[in-house]
Amino acid sequence: MRVLQWLRAKDAGLSATRRAGRAAVVMPLTFAFAFLVLDDPVIATFASFGSMSTVLFVDFSGTRIERLQAQLSLIVAGLVLIPVGTAASGSRWTAAAATLIVAFVILFAGVISSVLASATTALLASFILPVSLPGGLATLPDRLLGWLLAGAASLVAITFLWPAPNREPLRGPTAHACTLLARRLRAGLEILREGPDTELTARLIYEAGEASAAVADLRDTFFGTPYRPTGLTTSARTLVRVVDEVIWLNAVLEPHPRMPHPGPAAPQLIAVYSAAAALLERAADLLDNDEIRLAGFDDEVERLRRARLALEEVVTSLPPSPDGSKFKAFISSLEPTFRAQEMSFAVTAIAENIQLAVAARGRSWWDHLLGHEPMGVASPLASARDRAGAHLERHSVWLHNSVRGAMGLALAVLVADLTGVQHSFWVVFGTLAVLRSNALSTGQSALRGLAGTVAGIIIGGAVVLAIGPNTTVAWLLLPIAIVLAGLAPAAFSFAAGQAAFTGVLLILFDIISPAGWKIGLIRIEDVAIGSGVSLLVGLLLWPRGASAALQQALADSYSAGARYLSQAVGYAISKCDGQATAVAVPMEDSQRAAAAARRLDDAFRTFLAERGGKKLPLADVATLVTGVAVLRVTADAILELWSRGDEPATGDRAAARAELVDEAAVIVEWYQRAAEALAGSTALPPPIDRDHDAGERLVSAVRRDLIGDDGRWSATAVRMLWTADHLDGLRRLQPTVAIRPAQS
């Protein structure tokens, strides 16, 4: 029990333990069958390395069917890559050029899907081994047979050997965050119904803290992997959208731990909060339980929509005060309605995307096969194109890493051939193992890798010398060494993993061709060459590291988000009356903002994964990253607010439009200047203080321009005031953005 507790502490979910245990069974058996029964060293080599690639190097998430599909795809990809690598191995220059192209495609393709990203090492291994081993096309059938043996064994292993539970890293935390946010809404609803009360207020504050902690855990889970945790399946793609929306909903609610006095719209506010809490609870239950059906879900969404429209109708029926001295009282009466409108938009967006994710999971086998998507969801091909296109930009961290990794591996193949080392694939594996995001961390990994290799040679060499020609003992030690190789990186360190992997190779090659500790000395030479190559490439291509790239990605994201906000407000202004210039929905700006956010996502993950101390607290960086999502989703909310039916023009609305344009321009300019500061080119502007005069001017203009014939507020007037409240929310966000990352 103590060992199990220690493993669980070191290896969350026992995923590394599971991989190591499976590999310890599968790899020796496939190797033994190929080497002892088929009596073919080539088949044995590819069967053994194929087993490690398909069992030890990958651990797909999702349902059992999804994992089997991913595993089959990996096997098929290896059957394609092995012939390509074998054909290219005849010439050193062809081998290097092919490695450059294939490695770039494999590395860059990881941005499309977490399945591809998690299989990167296995895919690269299936190409590196044939391209760096001599033999030519004559050995191709044996190589493919060895890979097929490993692939077949891996399918049996993941199905029957300690099957992994369904792992969808975002699903549980998202459902939990939605549940606690719904409880927070319920606590606020009680205050609306019963009135202010010390006990009820304390409960609301408690529930608000619990919800914020759950959202923080969701954000940590989302950024807790080295790649974006989403595949190309419809449910995975839609669920990722929910993360930003949950973070935004919490950002909307968090600054208001107490409920304001509801005013004359109390019944309608109660209806909105009640419908929102019920819808959010239902959405969380849908996400958390596959057995719950979608029947009636549309009715819940419609109930919230009707409650929101009823609230707007009541607000527009309120008489505007002709007395300017009552301005503050009027604004206070509008605040609860705006907050309810903003909250209900966020809840609706969350619920609709969860509905899409659940509907996609519930499709029939035939619909899956034909690619029939739920309405409102893009096809996997379109999604893949958008994701790849977002990173075909010179500041993309993923593009940098892909180019650098491909060049490093190609150079390693060329150097290994030019130097004539005995086992050239170790040079390439050494490069792959130690390449990191910048020269400094690459050097640290190289030193750790070499230290681990030396330790592995000393220990493994001693073992090989001790067992001498007794291969029976070597066979018995092989599964033990594999378990250690699988567990060591998670339980101990990168260097320990290198040491254990070296021990596996020493035992493996001692069985194939007994040479004792000399194999270890050869590997020191080979890995040293590979480490030198990775250091050189890291220095030449990207010596700045992840911090500088993160700054640039933050700057790009805030700049794109500010432009999108500007265009969203421009669209809103164009909807005020027929005199304004017609403006199309800014879809291109929305897509650019989303693409910049994806690049920021990867830059942040690289920053988190980079070794060494961070000059800026991670909490501050995470706040900056969250600010990008809030900026973008606020623009979405403004578009949604103005996307409803047009209202007949009443009076001259030019003055009201001008006030809103001016207010938006100040906010947009601040975020653009902040983006320039994050890029390091200018000083960071101070946060903007609230301009009460500007708000009063807007209300006065709205009162003058947008009073209906019946003397009541028009719907357009209320939407303009609510748009101003959205902009004020972004003004309140500015102090958290005003944190400039330190230069790396």
pLDDT tens for 616-664 read 556 677 778 888 888 888 898 888 888 765 555 555 677 777 888 888 8
List CB contacts of 103: < 8 A, sequence separation 6 or more: 124, 127, 405, 406, 409, 410
674: nearest Cα among 727, 725, 724, 631: 631
Which residue type occupies 658? Answer: A
Residues 592 and 524 in one domain: no
| Domain stop point among 542, 559, 582 | 542
In the chain, % of residues over pLDDT 90: 15
Higher pLDDT, 320 or 109: 109
Residue 3 lies in a domain: no
pLDDT, residue 185, reads 92
Cα angle vertex 380, ends 375, 383, to 5°?
Answer: 95
Is the pLDDT assigned to residue 531 strictly greater than 90?
A: no
Q: By mean pLDDT, which of 164-168, 183-187, 360-364 is the weakest?
A: 360-364
Q: DSSP states of 217-273 as a string?
A: HHHHHHTSSSS-S--SSHHHHHHHHHHHHHHHHHHHHTT--SPPP-GGGHHHHHHHH
pLDDT at 129: 84
DSSP state of 318: S
The structure tokens 């890029």 sit at 679
Q: Is residue 4 part of a domain?
A: no
**Structure confidence by residue, pLDDT tens digits, 551-579:** 888 889 999 999 999 999 988 888 776 56
Residue-wise pLDDT for 271-289, tens only, equals 999 999 999 999 998 887 7
Mean pLDDT along residues 497-524: 67
Is 65:368 a contact under the CB 8 Å cutoff? no
pLDDT score for 373: 46
DSSP lists the bridge partners of residue 707 as 713
Q: Report the C-alpha gap between 284 and 225 in whole angstroms.
A: 23
Which residue in the block uniquely carries the two structure tokens 């619920």? Answer: 351
Encoded amino acid at 195, one letter: G
**Which residues lie across from 104 on neighbouring strands?**
none
Last residue of a domain, one of 167, 187, 218: 167
Residue type, 709: D
Q: Return the HEC string of 92-158.
A: HHHHHHHHHHHHHHHHHHCCCCHHHHHCHHHHHHHHHHHHHCCCCHHHHHHHHHHHHHHHHHHHHHH
Point out the least confidently predicted range of 229-238, 364-373, 698-707.
Answer: 364-373
The tens digit of pLDDT for each residue in 400-438 reads 878 888 888 888 788 877 776 666 666 666 665 555 444
At 615 the three-state DSSP class reads: coil
Residue 96, SS3?
A: helix
62: phi then psi, degrees, rounded to nearest 5: 105, -170
Q: Indicate the residue among 542, 568, 600 that finishes a domain.
A: 542
CA–CA distances in Å: residue 423 to residues 126, 145, 428, 527: 16, 22, 10, 10
Alpha helices in 420-470 (DSSP H): 424-434, 439-467
Q: Is 22 within a domain?
A: yes
| Domains identified in the chain, total number | 4
Residues 345 and 215 reside in one and the same domain: yes
With bands split at pLDDT 50, 70 and 90, how would you rate the model's confidence at 121? Answer: confident
Q: How many CB atoms lie within 10 A of CB 717?
A: 27
| 158 and 179 part of one domain | no
Q: What are 581-608's pLDDT values in tens digits?
A: 667 888 899 989 988 888 887 778 777 6
Measured CA to CA, the distance from residue 431 to residue 427 in angstroms comes to 6
Judgement on whether residues 644 and 501 belong to the same structural domain of the protein = no
Q: Quick one: pLDDT at residue 151?
A: 94
Contact 62, 372 (CB under 8 A): no
**Cβ atoms of residues 230 and 236 within 8 Å:** yes
Residues 211 and 133 in one domain: no
pLDDT for 743: 41
What's the one-letter identity of residue 675?
A
Q: Is 264 inside any structural domain?
A: yes
From the DSSP assignment, how many helices (H) and strands (E) are in the chain? Answer: 28, 0
CB-CB contact of 217 with 177 (8 Å)? yes
Residues sharing a CB contact under 8 Å with residue 628, sequence separation 6 or more, in sequence order:
554, 557, 558, 561, 596, 597, 600
Query: Which class for 390: exposed (0-12), middle (13-18), buried (19 or more C-beta within 10 A)?
Result: buried
Q: Could you tell me the residue range of the domain that residue 508 belongs to?
A: 395-542
Q: What was the pLDDT predicted at 75?
A: 93
Q: What is the CATH number of the domain that holds 233?
A: 1.20.58.220
**Residue 430 in 3-state DSSP?**
helix
The structure tokens listed for 215 are: 């959202």
Instruction: Check the CA dihedral 371-59-218-8 and report its sign.
Output: positive
Q: What is the model's pLDDT at position 477?
A: 84
Diameter of the chain by CA atoms?
Answer: 102
| Residue predicted with more confidence, 174 or 547 | 174
Pair 729, 575: CB distance under 8 Å: no
pLDDT computed for residue 482 by the predictor: 87
Please state at what angle helix 297-316 crosses helix 715-737, rounded to 10 degrees: 110
The Cα 412–Cα 426 span in angstroms is 10
Q: State both tokens at 280.
A: 């959010």
Position 713, amino acid: W
368 torsion bin: left (phi>0), alpha (psi -120 to 50), beta (else): alpha
In a shared domain, residues 80 and 200: no
User: Nearest Cα to 718, choosing from 207, 249, 337, 212?
Assistant: 337
Q: Do 44 and 35 meet the contact criterion of CB atoms below 8 Å apart? A: yes
Quick one: 528 and 558 in the same domain? no
User: Does residue 486 belong to any structural domain of this protein?
Assistant: yes
What pLDDT does residue 647 have?
A: 57
Cβ within 8 Å of residue 186, ≥6 positions away: 207, 277
- Are residues 452 and 569 both part of a single domain? no
Q: Does the pLDDT of residue 462 top 80, yes or no?
A: no
* Residue-level pLDDT at 461: 61
CA 742 to chain centre: 24
* CATH code: domain of residue 673: 1.20.58
Q: Give the pLDDT of residue 388.
A: 75
Do 512 and 420 share a structural domain? yes
Confirm whether 387 is domain-assigned: no
Give me 580's structure tokens: 């304004």
Distance CA 497, CA 11 (A): 14
Q: What is the pLDDT of residue 262?
A: 65
Cβ atoms within 10 Å of 328's Cβ, excluding its own: 11
* pLDDT reported for residue 365: 45
Same domain membership, residue 672 and residue 536? no
What local confidence, expressed as pLDDT, does residue 372 receive?
A: 46
* pLDDT above 70: residue 225: no
Res 425: pLDDT: 63
Asked whether residue 268 is assigned to any structural domain, the reply reads yes
- pLDDT computed for residue 367 by the predictor: 47
Instruction: Count CB atoms within 10 A of the CB of residue 422.
Output: 13
Residues 463, 493 within the same domain: yes
pLDDT category, 6, cuts 50, 70, 90? low
Confidence of residue 79 (pLDDT cuts 50, 70, 90): very high
Spatial contact of 482 and 28, defined as CB atoms under 8 Å apart: yes
Please state, in angstroms and rounded to a whole number, the distance separating the CA atoms of residues 365 and 351: 25
Torsion of CA 576, 581, 587, 592, to 10 degrees: -110
Average confidence score pLDDT of the chain:
77
pTM of this structure = 0.70
Residues 80 and 206 in one domain: no
In a domain, 1, yes or no: no
